[in-house]
Amino acid sequence: MTIPFLNLTELHAPLKQEMLKELDEVLGQSSFILGGKVQQFEEDFAAYCGVDHAIGVNSGTTALHMALLALDVGPGDEVLVPAMTFVATAEAVRYTGATPIFIDIEPGRMTLDPALIEKSITSRTKAIIPVHLYGLMADMPAICAIAKKHGLKVIEDAAQAHGAEVDGRRAGQWGDIACFSFYPGKNLGACGEAGAVVTRSADLDEQVRILRDWGQEGRYNHVRQGFNARMDGFQGAMLGVKLKHLEKWTEARRALGKIYWEKLADVPGIVMQAVPDDCRHVYHVLAVLVNNRDAVQTALSDSGVQSGIHYPYPVPHLKSFKSMGHVMGDFPVSEAVGKKELSLPMCPTLSKEQIATVCGTLKRSLEDISS
């Protein structure tokens, strides 16, 4: 019996009738772009995040791009980003003509290291994008304090962190603006591409709404360079159905995360992502660090346990970022995570017994490989 990394078909099965009814309504209204379902979802998602405004767009990457433009980031500007993240964080910065400046992550927590920020700030630095990696919030109190001191904007990349909290405040409530992805595999996923920008600022809300809809302020009144970045009606409808279950699913992920901790935290050769006491980790990814990662992954796969890697290379070491001239050794913590990180099965539909099987198989594989 295979243990899947993620099983969306099983997750959606109990909601299928409701989802089909919603799709039927969108079809009946022909409200394919934005429309009532998207508007309702925007209101509900803003409330979920505890902010006043959410703007639906067509991907998480677009959310980052629009957020940067709303803050007037452009050519000549520098934006600080963690070296260990999905490539989209840095690509969105390049789309604006600005330069991503990479910073290493903290050991343990594995998010942007606040202690390394100040030495990377120059007269060109305009913003910081902390990434809430694997569903664990970056150290937002420290990062926001540094940003405030230096007059920098903060854009949260919350693509992996729907409902995550630090200090009792949710992802989306810390930065000037925050970006979510609803890629199907994320904690809240659409049935296709979708994303959202959330903010407490009415001005930024207005700018993102203008940007996502061809730079229009009212029909055919194009006031700035704009984009076709709107969320589609079917996705708004699917997200509306799924949002109602997000807290329950998040609690299921946290319960599975707890079992992983009980079974793996004291095992020699396994390092877990360190979760500070003031954080609500939403376990988008259950990340462990192990030696001989690729061999361990193969052994798991041979025993029917699916796993993933997030991510094998720090972004500045990707070929596409070669022109920035970084070399091995520039980002030691990110480089170690790239070599050792293994993502174990994590899905609200998994059972305790399945997690126990994963942990047993992992322990045996580690013993076999190191002996």
Structure tokens at 82: 């963690």
d(CA 26, CA 231): 13
Asked if 31 interacts with ligand PLP (CB under 6 A), we say no
Q: How far is the CB of 287 from ligand PLP (least distance, A)?
A: 13
Interface mask toward ligand PLP for 196-235; x: CB under 6 A: ----------------------------------------
d(CA 54, CA 209): 10
Helix (H, G, I), strand (E, B) or coil at 55: strand
d(CA 24, CA 27): 5
Asked if 341 interacts with ligand PLP (CB under 6 A), we say no
Which stretch in 70-78, 154-162, 231-239, 265-273 sits in contact with ligand PLP by CB under 6 A?
154-162
Cα angle, residue 356 at apex, residues 352 and 359 outer, rounded to 5°: 140
Contact residues for 261 (Cβ-Cβ < 8 A; gap 6+): 272
Q: Are 9 and 217 in contact (CB under 8 A)?
A: no
- H or E segment to which residue 362 belongs: helix 352-370
Asked if 282 interacts with ligand PLP (CB under 6 A), we say no
Q: Which of residues 160-179 bind ligand PLP (CB under 6 A)?
A: 160
Q: Maximum Cα–Cα distance for the chain, whole Å? A: 70
d(CA 280, CA 264): 19
Asked if 45 interacts with ligand PLP (CB under 6 A), we say no
Helix (H, G, I), strand (E, B) or coil at 101: strand
Size of the site for ligand PLP (CB under 6 A): 14
Q: One-letter amino acid identity for 329?
A: G
Which stretch in 156-164, 242-250, 298-306, 360-368 sits in contact with ligand PLP by CB under 6 A?
156-164
Asked if 57 interacts with ligand PLP (CB under 6 A), we say no
Q: 59 or 96: whose CB is closer to ligand PLP?
A: 59
Asked if 58 interacts with ligand PLP (CB under 6 A), we say no
d(CA 44, CA 237): 12
Asked if 334 interacts with ligand PLP (CB under 6 A), we say no
Q: How far is the CB of 162 from ligand PLP (least distance, A)?
A: 11
Asked if 157 interacts with ligand PLP (CB under 6 A), we say yes
Binding ligand PLP by CB under 6 A: which of 5, 86, 227, 249?
Answer: 86
d(CA 18, CA 2): 29
Asked if 183 interacts with ligand PLP (CB under 6 A), we say yes
What angle separates helix 16-29 from helix 36-49, to the nearest 10 degrees?
A: 130
Binding ligand PLP by CB under 6 A: which of 85, 96, 235, 307?
Answer: 85
Which stretch in 118-126, 157-165, 255-263, 288-296 sits in contact with ligand PLP by CB under 6 A?
157-165
Residues that bind ligand PLP (CB under 6 A): 59-61, 85-86, 88-89, 131, 157, 159-160, 181, 183, 195
